[in-house]
Structure 1
Amino acid sequence: MQALEICIDSAHAAIAAEKGGAQRVELCDNLAEGGTTPSAGMIALTRRYINIGLHVLIRPRRGDFLYTHLEFEIMKHDIEVAKNLGADGVVIGILKADGTIDTDRTRQLMELAQPLSVTFHRAFDLTPDPYQALDELLQLGVPRLLTSGQQASAFEGAPLIRELVKQAGEKLIVMPGAGINEQNIKEIATITGAKEYHTSARSKFEGDMAFRREHLFMASAQPLSEYEHYTADADKIAAIRKAAEA
């Protein structure tokens, strides 16, 4: 194994990753929703406290990877922020409505990210033809791909990952990720022949709050699919104002 990348959502986790022997971290926010772009403060303080590689996720919201013009502009701005705060790389993924890779926008983000390393993330796993998608990434010159082999876990997707590793050759690093742990990484490595691996390696722990309201949750209790989104509704806002002022 050439590199172990740990997916994290805190500076404390970054320190733990370095202590555990990881070569790199992927810094995110909101991992419970699959990860979004971390704050500038999170990037800056993580960079200050670790000496290993720091890659920053560029994802403006949860859900699918079909982005509006405004969301794309946010992604570009966040790449500039990550560069200015000392990131070594960025992690991106952007698709068209038909599920294929948006090569034009991906190229724009890659050019903006230079000279940082670029990883195309698991948006790849939602493409209809993985071989075509990998060929497009190769043509773009993407250095690294994170994938679960289009399955729920890298272990289940290992046969496809093996084929992607062969197709990529030395031109692109195929990095398995999703559900990798100390029990299955050896077998995944044997099947795929991959050289880099991605895992969150998390354990649950209790927080230090003494006073608690166990029945209240700050997050929505209703899960959404990857293709559903919550957003502010101007009509609802107007209706609420009207009702309040009546």
Structure 2
Amino acid sequence: MKFLKEACVENVEQAILAEKKGADRIELCADLISGGISPSYQTVRKAKEKLSIPVRVMIRPRKGNFVYSEAEFETMKEYIRFCKKEKVDGVVFGILNLDNTLDIERIKELTAIAFPLDIVIHKAIDETPDIIKSLYQLIELDTITTVLTSGGKLSAKEGRYTLKEMIAISKNKIEILPAGSITDQNILELHQLLNATSYHGRKIVGNLQENNLL
């Protein structure tokens, strides 16, 4: 029952603890209470310095929706260039049109800048009108590494039927990364339902609120 555990963290202390507790990969964010935004440049540098497991970085200029202004889009491009320079392992982003469909043209632009980093499309896909159609659009790009999703629901368990369909569609093409209330307490149960290759969560290796680790 081998699968990869990606811990979602908002500072370097949590990232270090997650690695100690058995996380295989880190998604580095800030302000998780608002759904996660880009961490500071300093946080990214320090995480790369301190960790030996892969680090993927959230590219999200603000909380709220995923429809971005031109200025916000430019900020995302600049942040991805920084991440490439710092040699992080991947970047995590999502952009929607006003009708909540995927903004494929802007996704392509960011992907071109990020290459050859891992490219993760985050839970913005859960807000699209047709999540399966959106997945096929991403597969067609042939540049997306991972889709982080709850199957369009609040939790992975609620979205399990859609997640299973997405995993079947994406086999050997894109990593489907189930997320949404996945913890060290329920991951084995969910794995029996989904049989995914990897899972994502804030408590996927347990509580990460311990301090003074640096």
Q: Which residue of 1 aligns with 2:158?
A: 156
Q: Which residue of 2 aligns with 1:124?
A: 125
Over residues 9-33 of structure 1, what are the superposed CA-to-partner deviations in whole Å (9 max), with x where a residue is unaligned? 1101111111111111000011110
Which runs of at least 4 in structure 1 moved beyond 3 Å after TM superposition? 202-208
| RMSD of aligned residue pairs (Cα, Å) | 1.5
Contact 2:3 2:196 in 1 (8 A): no
Higher normalized contact order (CA 8 Å, seq sep 6+, divided by chain length): 2
Q: Unmatched 5+ residue regions in structure 2?
A: none
- 1:157 and 1:114 map into 2 onto residues whose CA distance is 30
Contact 1:126 1:150 in 2 (8 A): yes
Matched, 1:145 2:147: yes
- 2:207 and 2:20 map into 1 onto residues whose CA distance is 15
Q: CA deviation at 1:2?
A: 3.2
Q: CA deviation at 1:206?
A: 8.7
1:156-235 alignment to 2 at 5 Å? 156-201=158-203, 203=207
Over residues 118-160 of structure 1, what are the superposed CA-to-partner deviations in whole Å (9 max), with x where a residue is unaligned? 1100001101101100000101121110001111111111111
SS in 2 for 1:197: strand
1:1-246 alignment to 2 at 5 Å? 1-141=2-142, 142-201=144-203, 203=207
SS in 1 for 2:65: coil
Normalised by the length of structure 1, the TM-score is 0.81
Closer, same or farther: CA 198–206 of 1 in aligned 2, 3 Å:
closer
- 1:207 and 1:186 map into 2 onto residues whose CA distance is 28
Closer, same or farther: CA 5–94 of 1 in aligned 2, 3 Å:
same
- 1:24 and 1:183 map into 2 onto residues whose CA distance is 19
SS in 2 for 1:123: helix
Contact 1:26 1:56 in 2 (8 A): yes
Select the structure of larger CA radius of gyration: 1
Over residues 64-86 of structure 1, what are the superposed CA-to-partner deviations in whole Å (9 max), with x where a residue is unaligned? 10001110000000001111122
Percent identity at matched positions? 38
Normalised by the length of structure 2, the TM-score is 0.93
Q: How many residues align?
A: 208
Q: CA deviation at 1:182?
A: 2.4
Q: Unmatched 5+ residue regions in structure 1?
A: 209-246
SS in 2 for 1:55: strand
- 1:206 and 1:46 map into 2 onto residues whose CA distance is 17
Closer, same or farther: CA 204–194 of 1 in aligned 2, 3 Å:
closer
Over residues 189-228 of structure 1, what are the superposed CA-to-partner deviations in whole Å (9 max), with x where a residue is unaligned? 12222110001116385989xxxxxxxxxxxxxxxxxxxx
Contact 1:159 1:191 in 2 (8 A): no
Closer, same or farther: CA 170–8 of 1 in aligned 2, 3 Å:
same
- 2:67 and 2:117 map into 1 onto residues whose CA distance is 24
